[in-house]
Amino acid sequence: MPEMPEVEGLVEFLRGRVTGLTFTKASVSAISALKTYDPPIDALVGSAVTGVERHGKFVDVATDGGIHLVFHLAKAGWLRWYDALPSTLIKPGKTPIALRVGFDDGSGFDLTEAGTKKSLAVYAVRSPADVPGIARLGPDPLDDTLDRDAFAALLAGRRTQIKGVLRDQSIIAGVGNAYSDEILHAAKMSPYALAANLTDAEIDTLYAAMISTLTEAIDTARGKPPADLKDAKRRGMRVHGRRGETCPVCGDEVRSVFFADNSLEYCPTCQTGGKILADRRLSRLLK
């Protein structure tokens, strides 16, 4: 799933490519992806792009017509950019393309989604706040308002595993499964640690790990075209997606815990005192 650093990379790429251009095409080929009907998606045609912003994992393309094209790539979605937009006919149900957008210089992009579980979401709205997922977002982890004390306040009293807290978009916006693994590995913290039980020193370490991990990932994503962002993300992972490989910090084997539709990865030596986590969602450490 694209998370905050990759989405930020996409936003910076689009901001540099489409700001000032006029929409000539906005057509949905996967009806399930379109979550709004008023204004209609084709009302974007004829309006010029005034800016591109990120809200958590959402991309927001603003126009001078007062309409925003907002999209969330979900787990298997991606953006495919074209300097020259193809003229081929898109057949609904026969292609992974969910949305095709074109601009007056001939460029454009497709939003695509792999697999059978369709979660990619597209919105045409008058305000980003009209998108329910944006309206409920917590603060951005790199926002100046989320300093160490504000971060501690978000954790206070939450008897929830810290892995889940980091992934909860209503608490902190933009972090998902992959970067929560990376943050916790950098902090040398178990994903099953309870947020409410963290000491001041542990909160200091976790906050610093969150800032450094996400800042480094954004720096890696910056300036890369969409086609290169996924590979850059994979190369930067130390534990996520690296089950069975060697931890780059201590040399132990990276382990996984599998859930219904994803997994978490961690290093036992770095994060759990050498203990192996049982492979079920609400498990405690094995004795």
Contact 236, 251 (CB under 8 A): no
Query: Would you state the pLDDT for residue 262?
Result: 82
Query: Would you state the pLDDT for residue 280?
Result: 60
Query: Would you state the pLDDT for residue 270?
Result: 98
Q: Who's near 268: CB < 8 A, 6+ residues apart? A: 252, 253, 255, 274, 275, 276, 277
Query: Would you state the pLDDT for residue 286?
Result: 42
Query: Would you state the pLDDT for residue 254?
Result: 97
Query: Would you state the pLDDT for residue 282?
Result: 47
> In the chain, which ranges are E strands?
23-28, 49-55, 58-63, 68-72, 77-82, 97-103, 108-113, 121-125, 255-258, 263-266
Burial of 280 (0-12, 13-18, 19+ CB in 10 A): exposed
Query: Would you state the pLDDT for residue 209?
Result: 98
Mean pLDDT by 10 residues, the chain (287 residues): 93 97 95 94 97 98 97 94 91 85 97 86 97 97 96 96 96 96 98 97 98 96 92 94 96 91 92 88 45
pTM of the model: 0.93
Cα→Cα distances 35→64, 69, 102, 276, Å: 22, 11, 20, 42
